[in-house]
Amino acid sequence: MSNSVELPVEEFIGLLASKSPTPGGGGAAALVGALGAALGGMVANLTMGKPKYADVEEEIHALKTAIYRVQKDLTELIDKDAEAFAPLAGAYRLPADTDAEKANKERVMQAGFKNAADAPMHMMEKCAEAIELLEEFARKGSALAISDAACGAALSAAAMRAAWLNVCVNTKFIKDEDYAARINARGKMLLEKYLPIAERTYEKVEEKLL
């Protein structure tokens, strides 16, 4: 289903819980990632204009611009993920009675798997950007909002992990082994590099609050 982002929260959750194939795990991952990024925006707005943080005002403003862009991109990926899945869902219903039909169905499905892996990979990349920005917000933002920065990092990490599974569920069926290997290597690199940053951000804030 397209335009999921325009639905009321309760309706979106109800649709997510239904047997409808979209929104699914990918859309949920994008939403969680957008929420994580939004918390960065909250930290920025609670920091800017405060005399105590005048020395980082310019940096916070730049971080705010960047995190808002990430938030927007992740929000758009909620529906882009559903749109990417639609052709693949249609491919399963194609006839496969003759050799020609079987070949056509396989061609369409392989293209569909590649397309369906693309959206969650973009989610992972955007979550990586968010994690880096949230680490900065936790270090430079208002002390009253560092818990929000850490929550944002935790959500971004969870969204990245969820998006990764949505990459894997598609690359598993891609017969172009080199293509699948490249996508999987990219995903693993993002996990290995950015999940520790998110965890470190969370732990540092937790230590300050205890």
Residue 185, both tokens: 């290597």
CA dihedral 119, 120, 124, 127 (to 10 degrees): 80
- Round to whole Å and give the CA distance between 33 and 131: 10
- Round to whole Å and give the CA distance between 94 and 87: 11
Q: pLDDT in tens for each of the 210 residues of the chain? A: 458 888 999 999 999 999 988 899 999 999 999 999 999 999 999 999 999 999 999 999 999 999 999 999 999 999 999 998 888 888 888 999 999 999 999 999 999 999 999 999 999 999 999 999 999 999 999 999 999 999 999 999 999 999 999 999 999 999 999 999 999 999 999 999 999 999 999 999 999 999
Which domains are seen in the chain, by residue range? Answer: 23-209 (1.20.120.680)
- Round to whole Å and give the CA distance between 192 and 128: 11
Total length of the chain: 210
- Round to whole Å and give the CA distance between 149 and 130: 10
